[in-house]
Each structure stands twice: as structure tokens, then as C-alpha cells.
Amino acid sequence: TENYFTQPGVANIGLSKEDIKTSFLEKLFYSLGRIPVVATKNDFYTSLALTVRDRVFRKYVKSLEQYVEEDARGVAYLSAEYLPGPHLGNNLLNLEIMEETREALAELNLNLDEILNEEVEPGLGNGGLGRLASCYMDSLATLGIPSIAYGIRYEFGIFKQEIQDGWQIESTDKWLHNRNPWEVIRPEISFEVKFGGHTEHSRDQDNKLHIEWIPGTEIKGTAFDTPILGYQSNAIILRLWKAEATESFDFAAYNLGDYYRAVEKKMRSENITKVLYPNDENLSGKELRLKQQYFFVCCSLKDIIRLHLLQGRKLETLHEKFTIQLNDTHPSIAVAELMRLLVDVHQMGWEDAWKVTQNTFAYTNHTLLPEALEKWPVNLLRNLLPRHLEIIYEINSRFITEIREKDFSGEQISRMFLIDDRGEPTVRMAHLATVGSYKVNGVSALHSGLLQEQVLKDFAQLWPKKFTNVTNGITHRRFLAVSNPRLAALISENIGKDWLTQLDKLKGLEPFAANKDFRSKWMQVKLENKKNLATHIKELTGIEIKPEMLLDIQVKRIHEYKRQHLKVLHILSLYLQIKKDKQNTVPPTAFVFAGKAAPGYFMAKRIIKLITSVGDLINNDPEVNGTLKVIFLPNFSVKLAQHVYPGADLSEQISMAGKEASGTGNMKFALNGALTVGTLDGANVEIREEVGEENFFLFGLTTEEVADKKKQGYHPYKIYSENENLKRVIDFLISDELTKGDPELFRSVYDNLLNQDPYLLLEDYQSYVDQMENVYKVWQDPEKWAQMSILNVANMGKFSSDRSIKDYCEKIWKVGAVKV
Ligand code: 26Y
């Protein structure tokens, strides 16, 4: 290919300003049929995206050649969710053509920032788990790890959130409406997926058992590929499957003259990849969701086997050439599907197939919340995937035989069953994933410890070496270099650009914390970013804030365990101080919230209404006189996030200890120079270790203290009645001032806190309020604040997803880099 690419005039994929300009105009004329005078902004965006895509594909083709040539061992990442964020800016950074492109466009009287803003991001995930998968793709590509990521091409991603009358209103996310210039369809890469029906067992002349699955329906999955480019290096493919009807099915019905039935079948088949389930916990027995999971797992495994065989290898060596990472249990039906493919389709013996399977998969757990642990009803599996259910029973029975020989109590053994038959029988997908994998990891040191002590305790006792930790990380290229160009430039001016590939180099900033001149430049950058954020706030909510205010921010999915309402209690305590005690000692502060609530999550939606109601009250109160503002930014997304982190002063990471598996927003804030107020939960623990306890605002009970408190019997009402300030705040929740004539509005929140308070808001309240006093003290000393901010950034090296991926490679995958 090298010769081909260098032939003059064959393919213009040069990186100079002139090359970019030429390609851009060519795309506009010949791909879109437009001339500049009639082109829309979206036409310009699309032309630029296509221009960039050519250059990204060039890198991909070269990476692929290298992987094939070296016959390298590779990783397949299976995730039901991805949140890549806008592609264009990131690709420009990674191709190192940001300035060339800006100039090329300027010569055409176009503004790059406006064009970047045109991109509609793929919202193919709910939150942390999907964004993590995308950070990992960035690092896999950058590090040159042979890899491919598989998922679902949802036609509608996470819903669009609007706020009407203070409530969340959902509407569909039509992200494909303006076409998607980053993907290419691969009609030739398509697989059939069966559902339903029954199995037939028979024996051949040699008395060998053959099992055939006679399906009830069949559909087809077609690959759509999006190249993901690493920094200065390789590109990998994100391969998303779209569901369609099979030709044979259309044809059969058509021949019977029943055209409409054929079309209806087609529409029903396409349903499978229509929409992302907007829940990040608690989704019981939804058939379509299980169909989605099996659909993408089946296509992905068939594709992996195709790739393996294409290289002329034997299936017996699949685990030597591929490792498959399961991003939570969402793709865990893969354990049964790979067994089915090996045993039923490729005629491998059970033991050999099981050896391959167990050495192929590794499983990442992202949650300890009991309601988020997936369990599929046996009856549902029997109807939809009858053969898989048989295989799961077989795995279970062989597993039980194995552990009966070991030193386990009857109680332990039944706890480890893959099938839970207390009540309606269900399959515990975390157990299936654990048994079927060679490694299991949690996502922070604390979480991995708890995983081994609680949820998978018996398995950890059985296979201690199977369990490990890989602390999450974020791509600092997107979340610092692309989204915070001012800070990135200041850093590079002073310590060089090596941090782009080695985040530890930020350590070089440490001595600058003592440099007054540097501190002032640092805070000047922060102020500019705050102005930018203030502009977005004004645009999105109409609320004006002064950029000098303390920007105190909590952005993440709305969940009771994340305790957005604890922040609200604190805000109310400040408000009541102004109103009732007539003292205003708080520094001017804007409290900013953003995040989506699962549409069916009653409490989470109430919490949004609570935030907006408190905002309405405080923002318009003349007595507050603008010193406090409460803002709810609608429709949080990667795109919006990239404006939020750079402008934050204070990062709220206040979940109840033991509940947040890791958190990754915490890392994004700290990397952009925000200080953290937080509990000892998830990765907060490790962030505090890295930045130093003197540079972190800690409060609240520890995980052990939480457990003790719950064991002893927790009585929120007692805390309420003994803390006057708290009592005043809680009572205010049902006051007429707040609820404006609807006393029931926040009664559920009030009752929940006084009676159960499962996330210990009342217990942690005073410690939080006290620590916030401390925050304000430090805020009054800008030199000290700046110093702490610099020290935070200087010590964030560990939290690059490059480090996480290297950990996966060393501790789990045993895969090495292939550098192009
Ligand atoms: C089963 C289905 C309803 C479901 C769908 C999505 C269950 C869970 C999820 C998503 C979970 C998730 O995003 N978890 C988060 O993963 C992050 C990456 O590891 C962690 O940082 C974060 O603490 C955890 O809540």
C-alpha cells in the first residue's frame, strides 16, 4: 500500500494546510454535491469529517497490516455501551493537524470551532461504563495494542433531556438524522442470529451426541465500522451491529403472497437495535434487552472466529490468539454462546471447548449494588435461548461437581450456584461470567477488595488468583488536551509535551506550585475557562453567573447513592443562614448540577425537581443578592462535559462510601485543576493518596463505618432531632416556601430521609457541612487554592487510561504492543 499512497494524485491524504483545504473542497463538491455559497454548516462539518476520516482510515489500514503480518495476539472488547463523544476534535488532535485545519478553514472564511460544534455525538451509553469503554479504545489505539471493540449500533441513543417546569422530560435522540460521516457499513460482514424454538438431541453411528437448535426466528446483524485513532499512532475499529431481517425470511413470506407480513417481520427484527435502555441499575426481565445482549454477542463471537480462521488457525488455539474482555455482565451470555459455537457448530468436545472458553474470557465488574447485578429468569432464557439454558445448566452441574470435592459448606455451594432458585428461578450472570473467565477485576482498589469480600466472596476463596484490580483511568488527551487547550498550552510551555503520551510527566509541574507568577497564569487560565462555562450556562438556562464565583459542580447520573440531595441539603443550610440568621458568610458560589435520571426512577426524578425548585427560590431571592446560584444544566453529554470540567473549581464526589465502584468524573475534574470534596469511595481513595491528603477535602464515614452503622441499627430520626441546623433544613423540604402550595411535592424525599435514609445523608451531613466551611476558608486564600490546584494536576499521572490499559495488558491479557 505504501507505493499506492505515495503515487502523485492517487489519494490526497496529506496533512498540510493546502492538502486539507483541497480535500475539504473535494468532499464538499463530490461527496455532497455542494458549492460553498449554498452549503450549510452541517455540510461543512460533514466535508471536514470525511476529510479527516480518510486520513484516519489510512492509519487504520497500516495498523491492520501490521497486526496481520505479526500474527499478533489481540483483544476483543465486548461492551453493550460506548460514549465516544464528538470524534472530530479528537481526531484532529491525534493527527496533529488542529492548527493546519483551523488555518485552512480560515482561508475559506470558516471558523473551526463553529464547525466542531456542529457534531452530534453518539450517545450509545448511559454513563461511566460506556465512557470508560471509549477511553479504553483511545488508549488501546495510542498504545498500539491489536484490538477490536464490539457493540450495538442503537438507532436511538440515550434520551435527550429537557427541563420543563423543573421536571425532566425525555425525548428521542435522533443522532443519525444528519447521517454519520464516521462510520462505514460492511454489508459483507453480517451474521445470522437465531432466537426461540427448541433443541433436538440425536446420536450418530458412533454414538456421538449431536444437538441441534431449531430456532423460531432468525435475524441478521450487519457490521458498521468506526475508526478510532490513537495519538500519533494506530487506529482501531469500533464495530457496531445493526439488526435487520434475513433475506430468507422476507422471501418465504413474500412467496406466500403475504407481503405485509414480510415487512412487519422486517420491522420487528430491526427493533432489536432500535433503542438503548436508559437504565443504569435495576432492569428486571426485559426480553428485548436480553435479545440485544445475545444479538451483539453472537455476531461478535462469529466475527472473532471468522478472523481467527481467516488467519489459517485452528479453533483449539482461539485463546492463544484472542482474549475477550466482558464489560460487566451485559455480554456475559458469550460464555454459553462460545460453548455452543465450539461444541454444536464446530464439533469440539465439551472439555476442550470449556478449556478454550475459560481461557478466552475475562470479566470486569462495575457494581456492587444488588439491584444492578443482572439476573435473567430461567423461563425467559428457555423461550429465547433454549440451547444456551441447557449449556448453562451443564456448566452449573460440572461446576458443582468440582466444588463438592473442595472444602465448601453446603450453604456456600448453594450460594455459588449459577441458578438462583429461591423464588422465580434466575441465572446469576455475574456467576456465569466468573466461572467462564480466567480473570475477574474490579475498577478501583476499594471496589476490587469489596468484590472479593462481598459479592464474589466464595469464588475468591475458590480461585484467589483469578481476582485482581485494575483502577479505571481516563484519556487525558480528550479530557485535557482537546477540551482544555488553554491549560494544555500552559502545561506544555513549562514542562514540554511529553505528558500527552506519559501523563506521569505532569509531576514536573510540582515545583511550579511555589511560583507566584505561574500560579497567577494558572488561575488566569481557570478564569478564562470559567467565562466560557458561564456563557454555556447562560445559553442553556438563561441564568447569569459571575465567572469570579466559586464554581461548585456535581455532574453524573442522578442516583440516590451518589447523593445529589446531600448537596441540596447543604445549599439549603446556606440559604437558611442568609434568610433566618441574617448572616451571609458564604463566598459567592454557583452550584452546578447536571445528569440524567432513568425515566422510571421516581426518586431520581424528584431529586431533579428538588434541585430546580431550590434554584428557582434562591436565584430570584433579592436577599441572596446574587451570592448563591443553583443551576441544573440540561442534557449532560460528553460534549457538554468537555466545557464543564475545565471551568470547575470544586468537584463534588460525595457518594456513600462503598457504593461508587470507581467514578471517573472525579478524575476528569482533578485533571483540570478542580479540588475535590469527597468521601472515601471508589477511586477517590486513590486520588487522595496521589494528590496528598492536604490537597483533598475529605468527609464522611468510611466503608467499614457504614457497615457498622447499619449493623448497629441506623436511626436517622435521632440525628435529625439532635441537630437543629439539620432539622431546619429537612423541615424546609416540605415548607410552603419551597413547595409553593404543593406540600406533597418533596414529601417522599423527606419521608425517605427521616425513616430509612439508606445512603446515610443525615449521618454524613454535619461532617460535610464542616468540611465545606473549610473549603470556603481555603477559597478566601487564592494563592493557597492555586497551589493546591496545581498539585492536584501534577499528581494525576496514575489516572490516565494509558496506565489502565497497560495494567490490563500485563495483569490480565498478556498482550503486547505492535507499533506502526
Ligand atoms: C443491567 C443494566 C440495567 C445496566 C446498564 C448500565 C447496569 C449498569 C449500567 C452501568 C453501570 C455503570 O456505568 N457503572 C459505573 O461504571 C464506571 C466505570 O467503571 C464506574 O466508574 C462507576 O463507579 C460505576 O457506577
ipTM of the modeled complex: 0.97
Known catalytic membership, residue 664: yes
Mean of pLDDT values over 254-277: 82
Q: At residue 387, what is the residue type?
A: R
CA distance 713 to 718: 12
Q: What is the DSSP letter of 637?
A: -
- Which of 82, 126, 129, 292 has most ligand 1 atoms within 8 Å of its beta carbon, as the pocket-test mutant? 129
Residues 6+ apart with CB under 8 A from 515: none
pLDDT for 257 beyond 80: no
Residue 247 has pLDDT above 80, yes or no: no
How does the average pLDDT of the chain come out, rounded?
95
How distant, in Å, are the alpha carbons of 481, 498, 505, 513, 593 from that of 492?
10, 8, 10, 15, 31
Residue 421: in which H helix or E strand, if any? none
- Ligand 1 pocket mutation, candidates 286, 328, 427, criterion most atoms within 8 A of CB: 328
526 a catalytic residue = no
Q: Please tell me the predicted confidence (pLDDT) of residue 779.
A: 98
Q: How high is the pLDDT of residue 267?
A: 83
How far apart are the CA of 125 and the centre of ligand 1, in A?
A: 10
Give a yes or no: residue 553 inside a domain. Answer: yes
Residue 481 within any structural domain of the chain: no
Q: What are phi and psi of 4, to 5 degrees?
A: -60, -50
| 819 — pLDDT class (breaks 50, 70, 90) | confident
Q: Are 674 and 647 in contact (CB under 8 A)?
A: no
What pLDDT is stored for residue 249 in this prediction?
60
Q: Is the pTM of this model over 0.95?
A: yes
Residue 281 Cα, ligand 1 centroid: separation in angstroms?
Answer: 8
Please determine, for residue 2, whether its predicted confidence score (pLDDT) is greater than 70. Answer: no
**Radius of gyration, alpha carbons of the chain:** 27
Mean pLDDT of the region 645-670: 98
Pocket of ligand 1 from Cβ distances under 6 Å:
126-129, 132, 279-281, 283, 366-367, 372, 374, 443, 472, 660-664, 682
Q: What number is the average pLDDT over the span 608-634?
A: 97
pLDDT at 261 over 80: no
The pLDDT tens digits of the residues spanning 116-139 come to 999 999 999 999 999 999 999 999
Number of domains in the chain: 3
**Helices 485-495 and 516-541, axial angle in degrees (round to 10):** 170
The answer to the question of residue 350 being in a domain is yes
Query: Is residue 366 flagged as an active site residue?
Result: yes
Let me know whether 533 and 437 are in one domain: no
Residue 278 Cα, ligand 1 centroid: separation in angstroms? Answer: 11
And the C-alpha cell for 3? 507505493
**What is the tens place of the pLDDT at every residue in 623-647?**
999 999 999 999 999 999 999 999 9
- The best mutation among 152, 366, 759 to test binding of ligand 1, ranked by most ligand atoms within 8 Å of the C-beta, falls on 366
- Give the separation between CA 588 and CA 412, rounded to whole angstroms: 56
Residue at 451 is within a domain? yes
Which of 257, 255, 289, 250 is closest to 273 using CA atoms? 289
pLDDT of 6 reads 58
Q: Are residues 178 and 244 in the same domain?
A: yes
Concatenate the DSSP letters of all residues of 444-510 into one string: SHHHHHHHHHTTTHHHHHH-GGGEEE----B-HIIIIIIT-HHHHHHHHHHH-SGGGT-GGGGGGGG
Residue nearest to atom 9 of ligand 1 (CA): 280
Ligand 1 center to 368 CA (angstroms): 10
Sort residue 582 into left (φ over 0), alpha (ψ -120 to 50) or beta: left
Do residues 690 and 758 share a domain?
Answer: yes
Domain check: are 22 and 80 in the same one?
Answer: no
Q: Are residues 53 and 78 in the same domain?
A: no
* CB atoms inside a 10 Å sphere around CB 212: 12
On whether both 277 and 301 belong to a single domain, the answer is yes
Gap from CA of 560 to ligand 1 centroid (Å): 14
CA of 660 to the centre of ligand 1 (A): 9
**How many other C-beta atoms lie within 10 A of the C-beta of residue 76?**
22
Work out which ligand 1 atom sits closest to the CA atom of 279: 3
d(CA 648, CA 657): 23
In the predicted model, is pLDDT for residue 462 greater than 90?
A: yes
In the chain, the largest separation of any two C-alpha atoms, in whole Å, equals: 93
741 with 614, same domain: the answer is yes
Residues 553, 440 share a domain: no
pLDDT in the model for residue 280: 84
Question: Mind listing the pLDDT tens digit for each residue in 471-527?
Answer: 999 999 999 999 999 999 999 999 999 999 999 999 999 999 999 999 999 999 999
Domain assignment of residue 676, given as a range: 503-802
Catalytic hit among 55, 557, 596, 643? 557
- Asked if 525 and 398 sit in the same domain, the reply is no
Mean pLDDT of 568-577: 98
Domain check: are 516 and 460 in the same one? no
Q: What is the pLDDT of residues 35-86, one digit of tens each?
A: 999 999 999 999 999 999 999 999 999 889 888 889 899 999 999 999 999 9
Assigned domain for 489 exists: no
For the question of residue 546 being annotated catalytic, the response is: no
- In the chain, the amino acid numbered 316 is E
Residue 820 lies inside a defined structural domain of this protein: no
Which pLDDT score, from 0 to 100, does residue 68 have? 87
Q: Is residue 496 part of a domain?
A: no
What is the predicted pLDDT for the residue at 492?
98
Please indicate, yes or no, whether residues 348 and 206 belong to a single structural domain of this protein. Answer: yes
Q: Which of 102, 562, 563, 609 is catalytic?
A: 562
Q: Clarify whether 536 is annotated catalytic.
A: no
Q: pLDDT grade, residue 263 (50/70/90)?
A: confident
Ligand 1, atom nearest to 330 Cα: 1
CATH number, domain at 442? 3.40.50.2000
Burial class (CB in 10 A: 0-12, 13-18, 19+), 773: exposed
For residue 268, pLDDT beyond 90: no
In a domain, 614, yes or no: yes
Residue 582 confidence (pLDDT): 94
Residues 638, 782, single domain; the answer is: yes
Listed residue (63, 225, 89, 215) closest to 145, CA to CA: 63
Q: How far is the CA of 100 from the centre of ligand 1 (A)?
A: 39
Nearest CA to ligand 1 atom 8: 280
Q: 696-699: list long-range contacts, CB under 8 Å, 24+ apart.
A: 697/771, 697/772, 697/774, 697/775, 698/771, 699/654, 699/764, 699/767, 699/768, 699/770, 699/771
